[in-house]
Amino acid sequence: MSLAHVYSYIDSQREVFLEDLFQLLRQRSISTQDDGVQECAELLARQMREAGIEATVMPTPRHPIVYGEVGPDGAPTILIYGHYDVQPPEPLELWESDPFNPVIRDGKIFARGASDNKGQLFAHVKAVQAYLKVLGKLPLKVKFIFEGEEEISSPSLEPFVASHKDLLKTDVCIFSDSHVQENGRPLVVLGLKGMLYVQITLKGANRDLHSMRAAAVPSPVWRLIHLLSTLRGEDGLVRIPGFYDDVRPLLPEEIAAVEAIPCDKDALCADLGIPALLQNRNGDDYYKNMIFEPTCNIAGLKAGYQGVGAKTVLPCTATAKLDLRLVPDQKPERILELLKDHLAKNGYADAEIEPLGFLTPSRTPITHPLVEVARDAVADAYGVDPYIYPGIGGAGPNYIFEKHLGVPCITIPFAAADQNNHAPNESMIVDGYFNGIKTGASLIHQIAAFYAAKK
Amino acid sequence: MSLAHVYSYIDSQREVFLEDLFQLLRQRSISTQDDGVQECAELLARQMREAGIEATVMPTPRHPIVYGEVGPDGAPTILIYGHYDVQPPEPLELWESDPFNPVIRDGKIFARGASDNKGQLFAHVKAVQAYLKVLGKLPLKVKFIFEGEEEISSPSLEPFVASHKDLLKTDVCIFSDSHVQENGRPLVVLGLKGMLYVQITLKGANRDLHSMRAAAVPSPVWRLIHLLSTLRGEDGLVRIPGFYDDVRPLLPEEIAAVEAIPCDKDALCADLGIPALLQNRNGDDYYKNMIFEPTCNIAGLKAGYQGVGAKTVLPCTATAKLDLRLVPDQKPERILELLKDHLAKNGYADAEIEPLGFLTPSRTPITHPLVEVARDAVADAYGVDPYIYPGIGGAGPNYIFEKHLGVPCITIPFAAADQNNHAPNESMIVDGYFNGIKTGASLIHQIAAFYAAKK
């Protein structure tokens, strides 16, 4: 019996493995709204146990971590990280089907969390289940850490990892998040962006007023417009002084890897319905910008009347939600200080600045030997070579594992590029789910072989 | 029997006249949301009939007009204008009591529409009722035109007035809207601002995206920020080229009238909870700005995630609702053209500009003889001289009556300055309601006497 038999078994179990995933997708787990998260953790642990994994729900100050392990003690170890919490599904009216009632259309599973991240973490659970079923036992130890707070910037993860170093001891961390190449080719990703998420609120009068008062009473909405216009130029560059100071210079190998990624700008623009890509420090080079460019995005803007038609009000408050995505070696805490200084110096000392999330950016060396092992494992499962990304646009907690466990982090996405994560009609491509299960099995096999060869 | 007996009768009917008003306030009539407007028109007509007025509900393309008349044919005529529609009550969570279940606290009636405008128009209905009850008949003709579209910029009113000139034939139009002086002294108001209300929408990609894409995909939210920052300076002045070109120079008599209005800036700021009033072309002179200054207000701003906590999304659309209040002789249609030209010239030719309302500003000559008659009538009812305002900050359809009926418009407000109209906890001062009823009776009496003396 070999890995090929595991692949065959996986192919034979498509209906069962889909229904098991659907069960997980039906369970709400909206971390920012405290909606169903505990119930989802318990369901996931139950499903892991059914797959042959020892799983337990471990409390944190807010949403629990699901920990699991399986395989021989003392063997080389893989730690699989994922998150079972999801983004809020709003705006609900733009979904074509219920976000918590998964359905398959056009070869895709539509549901909130289908790709981000339930469908991707679950592939590793099913990989272990298939491997055990066909080959009887694992050739190495596989550990799982699935958190319920990723979509709220993982506040409990770092304390948990820092205080459970023995439990989590591993040789490598594997993540499956984000998506494969637009052309369907798989990826091996070596870094993630960091993030500072802040909410900025300005206040005017102590109550909303009839808008006739706009001739005499200051408007916090106009002040917010002017405040925001100082943060980013029309050229797309961030204007907070010092923002770019800590950006790590790029290595020639990193640039070469990114330049090897094919990009059809016209197809991209056509898919998104935009006339052109953003210009910034790398011109409109899509992958260089996505991988290497820090950003200041307005994720939400709210003031005054939100309904249909006209209402003539002078609002008493105005709020912006900003997510600033950072690259090595920017630090979110430092960027927050720069932002505060900038606002105070520009007449906005009264702005209420509420930080809602900090994530440090990370990047694993492209020269680490496990990078090649991972590439071969992915190639075997997919039947095609992956591209190597030195980083990716998404943010995540990789740096926590790098820092506290001292091991490389490698991300291998299974979702398709049109997954619509964080947006209405999120989907997971059905083939990606099964390729993911095969990749999970292949990684177990190849990494075990790599360590056996080293002995 | 004299006017004094009418006043006494009004005082004797406080409980009955309050309950009659409460019945009207309980009926929802949110014109922008098509909520209860027809039902409210029918209720109001019924209440007018009970007061002795011949009343009828007349259809328009959207919300009906309630027309009424009473008094001898061929006599001098007063036309009372008002609106029975109300602003949306949102945000509901800021109301201390149900906006459609009126209650009295601290001498005020709290309900949506209590002051704007049901409580004020109803005072004139009750004035006729009291006058008829005590004196048996009216000394002149009183006509009523109550519309249900004022809060959506009165789209049907002008066509209706233009096509019913004989029905509406009058010597003067009387409005009761807005509020009396902060110190409680009544007002006689001779003009209203105009308005252009527009919704501006910018679009980016064809769907909301994960905010990692902000490094490569243009954000309509950032574009909206930059668009808006071109419309108005941090100095409060509107920067649309040509915006101020048609502002009518002020007459010395108008300036003198405004300078006679007392203003306690410190008390005003303390009440509003703001450190200082807005600076603009008249410095921080409250009344000159409120009466003579055109504005560009942001009444609503909406993009991306509006809920609690963090969501990392690159929104695909961003919207601002603007109300631009205009003064004579600015024209809303001309201002819209200037706005469109300005946006097109500044790189926003793709902005969707949806006009939601046009109102032309108006101003009755301060020298018209009925201004003095109105002042005397108000002084008799209130027992104190009113201030004369050449204009006021609110917008309204006065110009329609000026233009099509060729008569002066005089506004006499009954609400208190802290009425919170268009905002949560809107209220009508109980004494203002009864002073309003007396003023209505006094106007009938004094205007009839003025025309009798002329003969």
Q: Which residues 159-198 of B have a C-beta within 8 angstroms of A?
A: 193, 195, 197
A-chain CB neighbours of B304 within 8 Å are 298-301, 321
CA A178 to chain centre: 6
Residue B394 pLDDT greater than 90, yes or no: no
Q: How far is A90 from chain B (nearest CA, A)?
A: 8
Residue B402 pLDDT greater than 80, yes or no: yes
Q: A234 at the B interface (CB within 8 A)?
A: yes
Residues B441 and B106: beta-carbon distance below 8 Å: no
Note whether A225 contacts B222, CB cutoff 8 Å: no
Taking CA–CA distances from A208, the nearest residue in chain B reads B423
pLDDT tens by residue, B291-310: 999 999 999 999 999 999 99
Of A94, A277, A312, the CB nearest to B422: A312
Q: Which of A210, A243, A282 is most worth mutating to test chain B (most B CB atoms within 10 A of its CB)?
A: A210
Q: B222 at the A interface (CB within 8 A)?
A: yes
Q: Which of B278, B119, B19 is nearest to A214 (CA)?
A: B278
pLDDT tens by residue, A400-448: 998 899 999 999 999 999 999 989 999 999 999 999 999 999 999 999 9
Note whether A229 contacts B229, CB cutoff 8 Å: yes
Q: Which two tokens stand for residue B250?
A: 């002020």
Note whether A32 contacts B311, CB cutoff 8 Å: yes
Please tell me the least confidently modeled range out of B17-26, B181-190, B332-341. Answer: B181-190
Residue B1's pLDDT band (cuts 50, 70, 90): low
Percent of chain B at pLDDT > 70 equals 100
Taking CA–CA distances from A314, the nearest residue in chain B reads B299
Check whether domain B194-247+294-359 has CATH 2.90.10.10, yes or no: no
Q: How far is B359 from chain A (nearest CA, A)?
A: 13
Q: A306 at the B interface (CB within 8 A)?
A: yes
Q: How far is A298 from chain B (nearest CA, A)?
A: 7
Note whether B325 contacts A395, CB cutoff 8 Å: no
B-chain CB neighbours of A284 within 8 Å are 216
Q: How far is A314 from chain B (nearest CA, A)?
A: 6
Q: A447 at the B interface (CB within 8 A)?
A: no
Residue range A178-186: average pLDDT? 90
Q: Which of A37, A293, A313, A353 is most worth mutating to test chain B (most B CB atoms within 10 A of its CB)?
A: A313
Of A90, A309, A393, the CB nearest to B213: A393
Note whether A213 contacts B276, CB cutoff 8 Å: no
Sign of CA dihedral A337, A339, A341, A343: negative
pLDDT tens by residue, A360-393: 999 888 888 999 999 999 999 999 999 999 998 8
Q: A280 at the B interface (CB within 8 A)?
A: yes
A-chain CB neighbours of B294 within 8 Å are 215
pLDDT tens by residue, A303-327: 999 999 999 999 999 999 999 999 9
Euclidean distance between CA atoms B287 and B270, whole angstroms: 17
Q: Which of A212, A243, A359 is most worth mutating to test chain B (most B CB atoms within 10 A of its CB)?
A: A212
Residue A1's pLDDT band (cuts 50, 70, 90): low
Contact partners, residue B256, CB within 8 Å, separation at least 6 = none
pLDDT tens by residue, A107-160: 999 999 999 999 999 999 999 999 999 999 999 999 999 999 999 988 999 999
3-state secondary structure string across chain A: CCHHHHHHHHHHCHHHHHHHHHHHHHCCCEHHHCECHHHHHHHHHHHHHHCCCEEEEECCCCCCEEEEEECCCCCCEEEEEEECCECCCCCHHHCCCCCCCCEEECCEEECCCCCCCHHHHHHHHHHHHHHHHHHCCCCCEEEEEEECCHHHCCCCHHHHHHCCHHHHCCCEEEECCCECCCCCCCEEECEEEEEEEEEEEEECCCCCEEHHHHHCCCCHHHHHHHHHHCCECCCCCECCCCCCCCCCCCCHHHHHHHHCCCCCHHHHHHHHCCCCCCCECCECCHHHHHHHCCEEEEEEEEEECCCCCCCCEECCEEEEEEEEEECCCCCHHHHHHHHHHHHHHCCCCCCEEEEEEEECCEECCCCCHHHHHHHHHHHHHHCCCCEEECCCCCECCHHHHHHHHCCCEEECCCECCCCCCCCCCCEEEHHHHHHHHHHHHHHHHHHHHHHHHHC
Decide: helix, strand or coil at residue B407: coil
The pLDDT, as a whole number, for residue A217 is 95
Q: B96 at the A interface (CB within 8 A)?
A: no
Q: Which of B109, B420, B409, B300 is nearest to A213 (CA)?
A: B420
Residues A219 and A208: beta-carbon distance below 8 Å: no
B-chain CB neighbours of A32 within 8 Å are 307-311
Q: Which of B83, B228, B312 is most worth mutating to test chain A (most A CB atoms within 10 A of its CB)?
A: B312
Q: Which amino acid is at B177?
A: D
Residues A234 and B229: beta-carbon distance below 8 Å: no
Note whether A300 contacts B311, CB cutoff 8 Å: yes
A-chain CB neighbours of B221 within 8 Å are 298, 301
Helical axes B14-26 vs B37-50, angle rounded to 10°: 160
Residue B397 pLDDT greater than 80, yes or no: no
Q: What is the CA radius of gyration of chain B?
A: 23
Q: How far is B390 from chain A (nearest CA, A)?
A: 16
Residue B399 pLDDT greater than 70, yes or no: yes
B-chain CB neighbours of A199 within 8 Å are 310
Euclidean distance between CA atoms A200 and A203, whole angstroms: 10
Q: Which residues 348-407 of B have a C-beta within 8 angstroms of A?
A: 356-357, 392-395
A-chain CB neighbours of B314 within 8 Å are 297, 299
Note whether A305 contacts B300, CB cutoff 8 Å: yes
Q: Which two tokens stand for residue B383?
A: 């027992």
ipTM of the complex: 0.78
Of A33, A193, A301, the CB nearest to B302: A301
Residue B407, judged by CB atoms within 10 A of its CB (0-12, 13-18, 19+), counts as buried
Of A216, A295, A423, the CB nearest to B286: A216
Euclidean distance between CA atoms A210 and A314, whole angstroms: 6
Residue A187 pLDDT greater than 90, yes or no: yes
Percent of chain B at pLDDT > 90 equals 87
Q: How far is B392 from chain A (nearest CA, A)?
A: 9
CB pairs under 8 A between A and B: 297
Q: How far is CA B356 from CA A204, B25, B223, B332, B385, in A?
A: 26, 26, 22, 11, 39
For B3-192+361-454, CATH number? 3.40.630.10
* Domain positions in chain B: 3-192+361-454, 194-247+294-359
The pLDDT, as a whole number, for residue A182 is 83
Q: How far is A453 from chain B (nearest CA, A)?
A: 39
Note whether A307 contacts B33, CB cutoff 8 Å: yes
Q: Is the pTM of this model over 0.90?
A: no
B-chain CB neighbours of A315 within 8 Å are 298-300
Residue B197's DSSP bridge partners are: B323, B357
Euclidean distance between CA atoms B20 and A75, whole angstroms: 85
Largest CA distance in chain B: 82
Strand A103-105's sheet: what is its strand order? A103-105, A108-110, A427-429
Q: How far is B132 from chain A (nearest CA, A)?
A: 36
Round the average pLDDT of chain B to a whole number and report it.
Answer: 95
Q: Which residues 41-70 of B have a C-beta within 8 angstroms of A?
A: none
Please tell me the least confidently modeled range out of A350-354, B76-80, B329-333, B356-360. Answer: B356-360
Note whether B221 contacts A301, CB cutoff 8 Å: yes
Q: Which two tokens stand for residue B70?
A: 């009473």
pLDDT tens by residue, B410-454: 999 999 999 999 899 999 999 999 999 999 999 999 999 999 998
Euclidean distance between CA atoms B225 and A455, whole angstroms: 61
Euclidean distance between CA atoms B406 and B404, whole angstroms: 6
Sign of CA dihedral A13, A15, A21, A24: negative
Q: Which two tokens stand for residue A48?
A: 């892991």
A-chain CB neighbours of B204 within 8 Å are 274
Q: Which fold has domain A205-247+294-359?
A: Alpha-Beta Plaits (3.30.70)
Q: Which residues 103-142 of B have a C-beta within 8 angstroms of A?
A: none
Q: How far is A394 from chain B (nearest CA, A)?
A: 5
The pLDDT, as a whole number, for residue A107 is 97
Of B226, B272, B356, the CB nearest to A229: B226
Q: B148 at the A interface (CB within 8 A)?
A: no
Residue B139 pLDDT greater than 70, yes or no: yes
Of A207, A219, A422, the CB nearest to B313: A422
Residue B280, judged by CB atoms within 10 A of its CB (0-12, 13-18, 19+), counts as buried
Note whether A313 contacts B422, CB cutoff 8 Å: yes
Euclidean distance between CA atoms A32 and A317, whole angstroms: 22
Determine if the peptide bond prior to A329 is cis (ω within 30°). yes
A-chain CB neighbours of B309 within 8 Å are 32-33, 152, 356
Q: Which two tokens stand for residue B336?
A: 């819209």
Q: Which amino acid is at B97?
A: S
Residue A282's pLDDT band (cuts 50, 70, 90): confident
